Chain A
């Protein structure tokens, strides 16, 4: 902690190198762009969260406690669109990925810094279009924009919402492109592929999905727009078009998109588990290649969203089998993290609590995914709250826990300050409890047959719905606490020093917050990742 005497204020770093709104809006520094994304997606998170809160309030009573059914349709659509496209997908890649990809490989910046800034502007333009759709009266297609509902029957703001998602997609594509080029071409001397932190393998796999999947969503939404404007009818049965084609094209992106959301979190967990168990990762290459395997298989499972849509039974069987296959690399990761914990010297600081929460909740979400991949069971639980419970265990229990764990882990690096660990642990516990109380009853509701996306329900479902709503209020408190102490720590938190966790990895070798150029001189890597237990600077 010798460097702690030199506080963050006395040294020039990326945050204080320049002041003023212009220095932020025109920055090409990947670290500053990461902060821009952090602020933006936090705002979107609370917009999407507010919609969810209103939905849960409404569902306290069987006949709807708060809003008209038409308004309820808009609430779940806004919740889905904002949370998927403007929070989950950019969350870890655009914030932590932007900050960490160059630092972890020992580079000064991403390969295309101006393209990176452009990505943020494109993202904000897409977000503005979607927020316009919300303010102008809402959109009620659900986040899936299914035709012919979205093209023929609805008069809400489908065009601006779809255009917003279309535009934001290019931000995702360009971010992925930037990461792939950076990881390929800009690794520091000695940073071989198999010395890279597993977070980078996860980011690489995620980027591949962003690059190859997102354009398909773009053309699909463009065709929806064409159909609404000119009634050209590529998806319109009246002209011989097929709505199922829309579903195929939509899920060709949107199922891999699920892995855009979860893979980065898996990468974060590999960093957290090794650091707080002070141990090498168990089976490095298995964890690394399982990310690539998930990305590859993710493109071959989209049909499991369409088991009851009129897809042929043979396609259904194949998609079912392939969906089981994607569980294998996911399970490899869970087993390897668990094996890493074995005989580790584990410390339960806040990021580790999120990591452990992730492993448990992701496992539950993954296992219920196997229920849904089973053809016969899916016929029973399709489009029920069982599905809602399943993907919230993956997206919120998994991806958001990983994101929060990562934010807590790298917060001292990003800001140079430590947050109060006691409060952080308390918040992690509240989130874990609130999350389970919110979403476990939804599994039960779905299994009992309550369909998703309805504003009203039979009275016998009320107890479980009230439990879920109570859990949501606890979860909401859990999300607000970190917002408060994180902001508090910016001014009053203790100075962190370069490496508060005793972690391995290039990003911890440079001061916190890092200088604009990241490293005084380009680092030379001489050891494998996670060389915990090895002597400092030992040759690996």
Chain B
């Protein structure tokens, strides 16, 4: 992705397009490995505390809105589909289809973020579930419920931040696609951005059951 702006598809340090393509792809996979470790720290902490404070975490989980979480899960899965179709369109050099799918992906991503912000976080804040700001929940396991909400906001917050970064990347791709930058010889940027998008999607696929469903109301 680093050299997608070069005037010829092949950057000077590479011997051929295949080498360049393999390097870009491997680079993104390695970056995703760092992301796995980054989220891994959060997931490890969550797992430990969930085992230590199971009742409080169950209570916290019940306070979340499963319907909104499920809708957002569906929205993200759809966005992964449109992203994958966008990558295919770039490989085939279909500029119009690529533009359509990029816009669709961004619209779905935006929908996810808006639902998260305007419906969920706002609601949680108004209910007094925000640790450090206005946490007012009272009950037998109030401390562990607060800890649950620490993780809820930290994990969904970091995830949402990754969505925002992804939106930024997609908007750059959109401008480049508009200019007819991509084609069968040059689609590395779309493909690697797609990998990133799918990864952020998969993180949510793990977050949703861990945070929303684990309280025993399947």
Contacts and interface: CB of A to CB of B under 8 A. Distances in A.
B147 A234 contact: yes
Contact of A240 (B3, B11, B22, B49): B49
B36 to A, nearest CB: 8
A114 interface: yes
Interface string A222-240: 1100100111111000011
B199 interface: no
Contacts of A110: 13
Contact of B35 (A185, A215, A241, A249): A215
Contacts of B144: 240
Contacts of B26: 180-181, 184-185
A390 interface: no
Contact of A212 (B3, B33, B39, B44): B33
A113 interface: yes
Interface centre among A178, A181, A231, A242 (most CB of B within 10 A): A181
B45 interface: yes
Interface in B142-171: 143-144, 146-147, 150-151, 153-154, 158
B42 A219 contact: yes
B19 A186 contact: yes
Contact of A234 (B30, B35, B151): B151
Contacts of A231: 131-132
Nearest to B3: A114
A113 B2 CA distance: 8
A528 interface: no
A115 interface: yes
A182 B26 CA distance: 10
A177 B40 contact: no
Contact of B147 (A109, A177, A233): A233
B125 interface: no
Nearest to B34: A215
A233 to B, nearest CB: 6
B53 interface: yes
B52 to A, nearest CB: 8
Nearest to B157: A226
B34 A223 contact: no
A229 B154 CA distance: 13
A155 to B, nearest CB: 18
A213 B41 CA distance: 10
A112 interface: yes
B161 to A, nearest CB: 10
B140 to A, nearest CB: 13
A218 B37 CA distance: 10
B39 A219 contact: yes
Interface residues of A, number: 46
B154 A109 contact: no
B154 A223 contact: yes
Contacts of B153: 232
Contact of A114 (B2, B31, B39): B2
Interface in A198-216: 211-216
A444 to B, nearest CB: 39
Contacts of B133: 230
B13 A109 contact: yes
Nearest to B143: A240
B50 to A, nearest CB: 12
A112 B27 contact: yes
B111 interface: no
A232 B132 contact: yes
B48 interface: yes
Given A185-B22, A213-B37, A233 B150 contact: yes
A239 B19 contact: no
B217 interface: no
Contact of A177 (B22, B34, B52): B34
B120 to A, nearest CB: 18
A112 B12 CA distance: 11
A220 interface: yes
Contact of A111 (B27, B31, B44): B27
Given A215-B41, A240-B53, A107 B146 contact: no
Contacts of B132: 229-233
Contact of B37 (A182, A185, A215): A215
A381 interface: no
A239 to B, nearest CB: 6
A214 B15 CA distance: 31
Contacts of A242: 48-49
Given A111-B27, A181-B23, A218 B12 contact: no
16 contacts: A107-B13, A108-B13, A115-B2, A177-B27, A186-B14, A211-B30, A211-B33, A211-B37, A215-B35, A226-B154, A230-B131, A232-B132, A234-B151, A239-B147, A240-B146, A245-B45
Nearest 5 pairs between A and B by C-beta?
A: A230-B132, A215-B38, A219-B41, A109-B13, A215-B37
Given A223-B42, A241-B147, 17 more contacts: A112-B3, A112-B27, A114-B3, A115-B2, A173-B34, A186-B13, A186-B14, A213-B37, A215-B37, A215-B38, A216-B40, A222-B158, A239-B143, A240-B49, A242-B48, A245-B45, A517-B12
